[in-house]
Amino acid sequence: MKKCILITAVCLCSQLVFSQNTDSVVIKKIVDETMTNGAAYENLRKLCKQAGPRLSGSPQFANAVRLVSAMMKEIGADTVYLQQCMVPHWVRGEKEKGQIILFIGKKYDLKLCALGNSVGTGAKGVTANVIEVNSMEQLDKLGTNGVKGKIVFFNFPMNQTYIKSFRAYGESGVSRNRGPALAGKYGAVGAIVRSLAINLNDYPHTGATGYNDSFPKIPAVAISTNDAEYLSKQLKRKNVSKAYFRTMSKMLPDAPGYNVIAEKRGSQFPEEIITVGGHLDSWDLAEGANDDGSGVMQSMEVLRTLKALGIKPKRTIRAVAFANEENGGRGGQKYLDEAKTKNERHIFALESDEGGFTPRGFSLDMTEAQRNKIMQWKNLFYPYGASDIIAGGSGSDVGHLKELGTALAGFTPDSQRYFDIHHAATDVFENVSRRELLLGAANMAALIWLVSEYGL
C-alpha cells in the first residue's frame, strides 16, 4: 500500500514536472512574442496623446471608447462590444486658485486642485482660519467646537517605510476619501488635503472624495506635498492668518459611459469566462498613462499575443476596458449586472490597475484550493519577474464579481514610482517604460493562458 502511494506520488510528481516543462515552453513563446511585437506601448501612446485625459462623462472618454474599440478589432478579437451604463459626470470648471495669507501680510500661492466629486466654493471662494489635523481621531476630538467655520487641513503624509506603497496609500487615503465629509459634519467651511504623493513635489494629486449625505458637503482641494510641508511649518510658527481657495467644480446629471469588451471564444469550454481588465477612464488632470491606460493596453495585449501565436484558448477570454473606476465604479457594477442577467459563469478575473511598472507578481483573492493551484505555477513566472504570488486583494473593477464566487486576482507591478505620478499631471505616456509595460502584459498573458488551459 505504502509502495503504491509512493509510486502514485512519483508519477503525479513527474507528470507535474513534465507538464510544467511543456508549459514553460509555451510561456517562453508568449513572453518572446509580447516583448518583440507587443502593441501595448504604441497603443498606449495613441490613447494618451489622441484621447488624453478622459474623465467619466467627458467627450475625451467617448473618444477613448472609439479608439479602444478600433484597437480591439485590430488585435483580432472574435467580437468587440460595448456595455452602456450611466456614470457620474463631474466637471472641474474654471481653474482653481488658492492662497495662504500670512500675518506678515505676505500671500503664498498654493498649487492645488479640486478633489474629484467635490462641490465648488462659488465665485467668492472660501476664506477662513486653518486648523491642521493629522488623524481622523484628532478631528473627532476637536469636534464642532474646534472646527466650526474653519478650513480643515488634512496633513497625512504617506508612510515612507512601507515598501508596498499601496499600504501607505490605504492608510493616508482616508484623509481624501472621508476627511471632507467628516469636516463638514463638524461645521468646517472647506477642506485642504495633502496630496497622496509619497515624495515631495509641486504637483497637486486629485482623486475622489466621498461625501456623506447626512452632513453638509463642503468644498475640498488637494495641495502639493511641498505646499503641505510649507503650510504645516507656517501653522506651527503661528504665521498663518487665513487661507483662501476658490473651486468652480460641480456634479452634472449622470451621463452615459461604456465598458469596452473584446472577446475570444473558448474552443472547449466557451461557457467558462475569464476576464482580464483595467479601467479606461482617467482623471481630467492626467493622461492616465499608468492609471490606467497601461492596464487596458496590457489586457488587450493578452489577446493579441495569444492570437499572434495561434493559441486557441480552451476557455473564453475577455479583455475589458472598464468605465468609471475613478469616481463611481459603475462600469464594474454594470459588468456584474450583465453577468447576472445572462447567467454567465465567470471562473477567473484578473485586474491590472497598479501602473505599468516592472512586474513583481500577483495577488490572489480566491479559495485556498484555487490559490494553491496557481501557486504551483510560481516557478513558471520566476524567469519573468512575476513570481511573488501571494494571497491578497484583486482590483475594484473585477472585485464586483466576488458576488458570483469568481476567483479574483490583481497584477502586482513594483510600486515605488506609482505615487509620484498617481492622479497628477505627471501621469503621462513618457513616464511609462516600454519594456516594463510589455513584461507585465507578458506575465498576465501567461497566467490567463494557464487558467484557460487548466481551469481553476
Interface residues with a copy of itself (CB under 8 A) are 31-32, 35-36, 160-161, 163, 165, 198-199, 358, 360, 383-385, 414, 416-417, 420, 433-436, 439
Q: Which is nearer to a copy of itself, 199 or 367 (CB)?
A: 199
- Look up residue 123 and give its DSSP letter: T
Q: What's CA 221's distance to the chain center, in Å?
A: 21
Question: How near is the Cβ of 27 to a copy of itself at its closest, in Å?
Answer: 12
Q: Which is nearer to a copy of itself, 293 or 359 (CB)?
A: 359
With b for 16 or more beta-carbon neighbours within 10 A and e for fewer, the 373-405 pattern comes to bbbebeebbeebbbbebeebbbbbbbbbbeeee
Distance CA 115, CA 92 (A): 9
Q: Which is nearer to a copy of itself, 325 or 414 (CB)?
A: 414
Distance CA 181, CA 210 (A): 7
> Considering all CA atoms of the chain, what is the largest pairwise distance in Å, rounded to the nearest integer?
91
Q: Which is nearer to a copy of itself, 65 or 297 (CB)?
A: 297
> What are the C-alpha distances in Å from 319 to residues 262, 263, 289, 306?
5, 6, 18, 12
> What are the C-alpha distances in Å from 21 to residues 13, 101, 227, 421?
12, 68, 55, 40
Question: How near is the Cβ of 84 to a copy of itself at its closest, in Å?
Answer: 38
Q: Which is nearer to a copy of itself, 127 or 416 (CB)?
A: 416
Question: How near is the Cβ of 36 to a copy of itself at its closest, in Å?
Answer: 5
Identify whether the C-beta of residue 237 lies closer than 8 Å to the C-beta of residue 245. no
Question: How near is the Cβ of 434 to a copy of itself at its closest, in Å?
Answer: 5
Burial class of residue 341, CB neighbours in 10 A (0-12, 13-18, 19+)? exposed
Distance CA 329, CA 382 (A): 33
Considering only CA atoms, which of 399, 398, 392 is closest in space to residue 415?
Answer: 392
Question: How near is the Cβ of 386 to a copy of itself at its closest, in Å?
Answer: 10
Q: Which is nearer to a copy of itself, 58 or 415 (CB)?
A: 415
Question: How near is the Cβ of 282 to a copy of itself at its closest, in Å?
Answer: 22
Q: Which is nearer to a copy of itself, 180 or 359 (CB)?
A: 359
Q: Which is nearer to a copy of itself, 324 or 387 (CB)?
A: 387
Question: How near is the Cβ of 78 to a copy of itself at its closest, in Å?
Answer: 28
- Look up residue 160 and give its DSSP letter: T
Identify whether the C-beta of residue 246 lies closer than 8 Å to the C-beta of residue 97. yes
- Look up residue 95 and give its DSSP letter: P
Question: How near is the Cβ of 18 to a copy of itself at its closest, in Å?
Answer: 24
Question: How near is the Cβ of 176 to a copy of itself at its closest, in Å?
Answer: 21
Q: Which is nearer to a copy of itself, 322 or 418 (CB)?
A: 418
> What are the C-alpha distances in Å from 29 to residues 37, 183, 310, 318, 443?
12, 55, 11, 21, 12
Q: Which is nearer to a copy of itself, 221 or 432 (CB)?
A: 432
Question: How near is the Cβ of 388 to a copy of itself at its closest, in Å?
Answer: 9
The C-alpha cell at 443 is 506575465
- Look up residue 428 and give its DSSP letter: S
